[in-house]
């Protein structure tokens, strides 16, 4: 057989011999002619086979018999003749089957009758064959590639940090404990400590894309127990404004790449137009944001708490109305609801140099300027009820000098979910992990 051609490249190929491989999407087994829609990772093409066994006394048609027995999802390789024909609805071309080889036969698809998200996740490898899922992960690939390009062009260093830790990276809440020889280890909630160690090492800007773990029993559309965290940290910041400026430039780079490479496909499959955000993103102090949503008829249940999901939706509606923007930085969070390592305002120790980034009504990221002065950091840890001895290795970084620095952590799946207007993080995670899901 000839060298395999991806379906997306058939339109540019001349009429003549061609070989395609993929899986069976549909079969139309008619009396005189058979049609198979074959899909690969790049698209779908119609295969055609005029039957030769329709006349009385004719010889058996082995190809026709094979096609009649095909099941949806079976993988094939077909060598045949490519023909461009505007009458063919699927792409204006078809392949007349010459040779057909069944590489793997599929059982009847278990999600054909039950298409609920739980059933689809049980058979995720089949669910991922949908064109929407294929495009979704291509979009994610393009997004991450654009972020990496931006970081590398700005002299950031990529690091890979440990996911087994001797002490918590955030707090003792939401921790997975793991037996580790004669002691106990913890799965990393974030690479926070190690990003900051890179500042002590003089690396300057660093970034990481890797797994993070939260023992959170939530069953919401935005939570997972294992997720991909997109993290960055950089030295010599004057405030969290520097971090926000870096963050928004990254997102502009990522969304620009997505729109350029996938904009038409996203519009065709998801019915959405990708909007590249303008800079600067709107910035609203948290206290002001709470007042705005209160004036619009919604009171945050606890005055001393973070913005809750309904509050995030309300403030996003306001920002879209007032600024025509899908993003908003909520800034100046109270010390009481931020970690001990966030730097506090110089003129108001009750506030921190920190932010949350909300995209289309959902928080996707937290960022801040970090406290780099060891004496202040120790006191802030004590204020939070932490024993400095338990975070001694972390504190050691600062005893040997660390420049002013800041950074953020961002949930990758949340960004893709909100970009493509998907109902749940489960739809956009390759293999979702939650309180009741460890398979496949």
The residue assigned the tokens 């420049």 is: 403
Strand ranges of the sheet holding 206-213, from the earlier edge strand across to the other edge: 157-158, 206-213, 226-235, 405-411, 362-369, 354-359, 327-331, 283-285
Residue 214 assigned ligand-binding role? yes
**Of how many residues is the chain composed?**
440
Residue 170 assigned ligand-binding role? yes
Q: What is the DSSP string of 386-413?
A: --GGGGHHHHHHHHT---SEEEEEEEHH
Side-chain-side CA neighbours of 375 within 13 Å: the count stands at 0
Report the distance separating Cα 224 and Cα 218, nearest Å.
8
User: 154 with 148: CB under 8 angstroms?
Assistant: no
Residue 291 assigned ligand-binding role? no
Residue 56 assigned ligand-binding role? no
Residue 273 assigned ligand-binding role? no
Residue 433 assigned ligand-binding role? no
Residue 169 assigned ligand-binding role? no
User: 167 with 186: CB under 8 angstroms?
Assistant: yes
Neighbours of 232 (CB within 10 A): 24
- Residues 318-323: contacts with CB under 8 Å, at least 24 apart: 318/292, 318/293, 319/282, 319/284, 322/282, 323/282
**Of 222, 233, 164, 254, which is closest to residue 358 (Cα–Cα)?**
222
Residue 411 assigned ligand-binding role? yes
Residue 412 assigned ligand-binding role? yes
Side-chain-side CA neighbours of 108 within 13 Å: the count stands at 3
Binding residues for L-aspartate: 170, 214, 366, 370
Binding residues: 170, 214, 363, 366, 370, 411-414
Binding residues for ATP: 363, 411-414
């Amino acid at each position: 057989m000839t060298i395999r051609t991806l379906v997306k490249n058939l339109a540019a190929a001349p009429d003549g011999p061609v070989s395609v491989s993929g899986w069976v999407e549909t079969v139309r087994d008619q009396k005189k002619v058979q049609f198979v829609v074959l899909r690969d990772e790049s698209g779908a093409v119609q295969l055609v086979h005029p039957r030769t066994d329709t006349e009385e006394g004719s010889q058996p048609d082995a190809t026709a018999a094979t096609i009649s027995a095909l099941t949806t999802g079976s993988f094939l390789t077909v060598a045949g003749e490519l023909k461009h024909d505007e009458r063919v609805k699927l792409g204006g071309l078809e392949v007349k089957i010459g040779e057909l080889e069944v590489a793997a036969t599929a059982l009847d698809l278990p999600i054909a009758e039950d298409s609920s998200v739980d059933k689809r996740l049980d058979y995720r490898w089949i669910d991922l064959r949908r064109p929407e899922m294929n495009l979704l992960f291509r979009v994610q690939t393009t997004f991450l590639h654009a972020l990496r390009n931006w970081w590398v062009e700005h002299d950031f260093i990529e690091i890979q940090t440990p996911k087994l830790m001797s002490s918590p990276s955030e707090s003792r809440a939401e921790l997975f404990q793991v037996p580790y020889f004669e002691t106990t280890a913890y799965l990393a909630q974030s690479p926070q400590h190690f990003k900051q160690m890179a500042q002590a090492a003089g690396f300057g800007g660093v970034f990481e894309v890797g797994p993070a773990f939260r023992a959170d029993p939530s069953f919401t559309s935005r939570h997972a127990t294992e997720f991909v965290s997109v993290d960055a940290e950089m030295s010599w910041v004057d405030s969290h404004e520097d971090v926000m400026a870096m963050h928004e430039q990254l997102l502009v780079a990522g969304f620009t790449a997505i729109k350029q490479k996938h904009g038409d496909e996203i519009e065709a499959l998801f019915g959405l137009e990708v909007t590249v955000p303008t800079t600067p993103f709107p910035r609203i102090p948290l206290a002001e944001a709470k007042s705005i949503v209160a004036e619009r008829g919604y009171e945050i249940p606890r005055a001393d708490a973070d913005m809750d999901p309904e509050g995030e939706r309300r403030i996003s509606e306001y920002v879209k109305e007032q600024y025509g923007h899908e993003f908003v930085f909520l800034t100046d969070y109270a010390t009481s609801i931020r970690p001990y390592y966030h730097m506090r305002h110089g003129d108001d120790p009750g506030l921190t140099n920190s932010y949350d980034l909300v995209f289309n009504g959902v928080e996707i990221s937290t960022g801040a300027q970090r406290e780099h002065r060891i004496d202040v950091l120790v006191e802030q840890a004590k204020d939070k009820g932490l024993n400095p001895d338990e975070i001694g290795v972390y504190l050691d970084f600062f005893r040997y000098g660390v420049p002013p620095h800041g950074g953020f952590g961002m949930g990758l799946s949340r960004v893709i979910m909100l970009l493509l207007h998907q109902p749940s993080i489960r739809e956009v995670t390759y293999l979702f992990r939650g309180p009741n899901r460890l398979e496949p």
